[in-house]
Structure 1
Amino acid sequence: MKRAFQSLMLGGALTAAAVMGAVAPAAAQTVQPGVQMMQPPPSLNLSAYGEVKAAPDMATISFGVQTEAATAQEAMRDNATRMTQVMAALRRAGIAERDVQTSGLNLSAQYDYQQNEPPKLRGYQAVNRVTVTINDLTKVGTTADAVVAAGVNQIDGISFGLKDPSAAEDQARRQAVQALQAKAQLYAQALNVQLAGIRNLSEGGGYAPQPPQPMF
């Protein structure tokens, strides 16, 4: 099975209210004798979308080491032994210590359950979860193989992303603004009105890395 590196998609959804110059003067509403309140000019609410695809330049692997034993001390000791082997394997694979982060360590009692009987303690389970950042995509496969061989028995997933998505985000914003301006001009021409300017502008969406899809 081969895996394809799917491009990252970045979406910036921009919503703007463009003020249209009214064909007739703005209507005035009398509130009290001698006092007039001007109605706000009509507005056009539109949204546009910008999307940029960029090849990933980094990956993260999340995995865990799970051990079980009759006592909590044994479960923790076995887990620590395996984690030492895993950390050594990561160093041999060229992964820097700063790119390895422990995301959680959990110890829990394990019980067997049978109908009409109280739970029976079976032992204890220790789980240590780690997230590794890989800055060289050519090392993703070898790193995964290395940690599994060293004792990792849970792979939570591999995701791909950008070290710095700001350039792609800005490009998506520019595309969204251009699309918004074009749409506003189209509506203005169809309605035979003139655009007076932008009343407000808001942004939604953002950087959204996607995992690779398997290809057979």
Structure 2
Amino acid sequence: MKNPWKKFACALALALAFVMPQMAAPAEAADQPQRPILSVDGRGEATAEPDMATVAVGITTHADDAAKAQNDNAWVAGEIQKAISSLGIAEKDIQTRNFTFRPTYREDKGHTNEIDGYTVDNTVIVTVRDVKLTGKVIDAALSHGANEISSLDFSASDTRGIRKEALKNAIADARDKADILAKGLGKRIVGIQNVSENTGYIETRHFAGNMMMAMAKDAATPVAPGSLSLSASVHIDFILSD
């Protein structure tokens, strides 16, 4: 009969022969020096042509009677909406916002608590999806009873494309800097250890105050939307050759 202890010893020797190299490999890797890291920040920008505008139209009416002040405001708002709709602006893109109704009081001495009328303020927000119509929308609103164009904002509907371009430019900037630094150090870039990014938001071009008042006096003049910009930054840790 064969010795069972001899068979066990042979099996144990084979197992150790397989395990020991596996255990030694991490230890050997730990002994190897880490490759140098080059940390670089990159920045990129991208621009886009605005394809949308948002116009805030103000309607203010005043009357001695509360109902008349309200009815007058509603009538003017309706006329403005019809005029703007005739330009091809969809009904969903014309919305009422910031509606207020308040009494007004006499200012002469001894009568300061007496109501002398009622004022209704109504702001209509118009989204213009064809920027070439912006001037015509302003003109239509003013010619049909609007008292004020309180703000005008230009924006872009496709933000994904401009964000992608800004990031690509930021990455290219970081790589260009890294190549210059690595070459100056006598090294080569052999890999990337870590990447992080920070992308901003496309800010609308905003017009308000005196600029809007000047624009409203000659709304038939084409309104120049200009361009919008977005910036992005990246941080990349490049692995250098030994």
Cα distance per residue 1:89-112 (max 9 Å; x no partner): 112222111221222211223345
Q: 1:208 aligns with which of 203, 206, 230?
A: 203
- Report the aligned-residue RMSD: 3.2
- The farther-off stretch of 189-198 and 46-55 is 189-198
For structure 2, the 5+ residue unaligned runs are: 1-31, 216-222, 224-242
Cα distance in 2, alignment partners of residues 209 and 91 from structure 1? 24
Q: 1:106 aligns with which of 90, 100, 103?
A: 100
Q: 1:142 aligns with which of 131, 136, 146?
A: 136
Which amino acid counterpart does residue 87 of structure 2 have in structure 1? A
- The farther-off stretch of 112-121 and 195-204 is 112-121
- The farther-off stretch of 188-197 and 141-150 is 188-197
Which entry has the higher C-alpha Rg, 1 or 2? Answer: 2
- The farther-off stretch of 100-109 and 143-152 is 100-109
- Residue in 2 that maps onto 1:6: none
8 Å contact kept, 2:55–2:152: yes
8 Å contact kept, 2:52–2:157: yes
Q: What secondary structure, in the 3-state scheme, does the structure 2 residue paired with 1:63 have?
A: strand
Q: 2:86 aligns with which of 92, 100, 105?
A: 92
Which amino acid counterpart does residue 41 of structure 2 have in structure 1? S
TM-score (norm 1): 0.68
- Residue in 2 that maps onto 1:199: 194
For structure 1, the 5+ residue unaligned runs are: 1-23, 27-40
Q: Percent identical across equivalent pairs? A: 28
Deviation at 1:211?
4.7
- Larger fraction in helix: 2
Cα distance per residue 1:67-98 (max 9 Å; x no partner): 12224333222111111111111122221112
Cα distance in 2, alignment partners of residues 48 and 120 from structure 1? 65
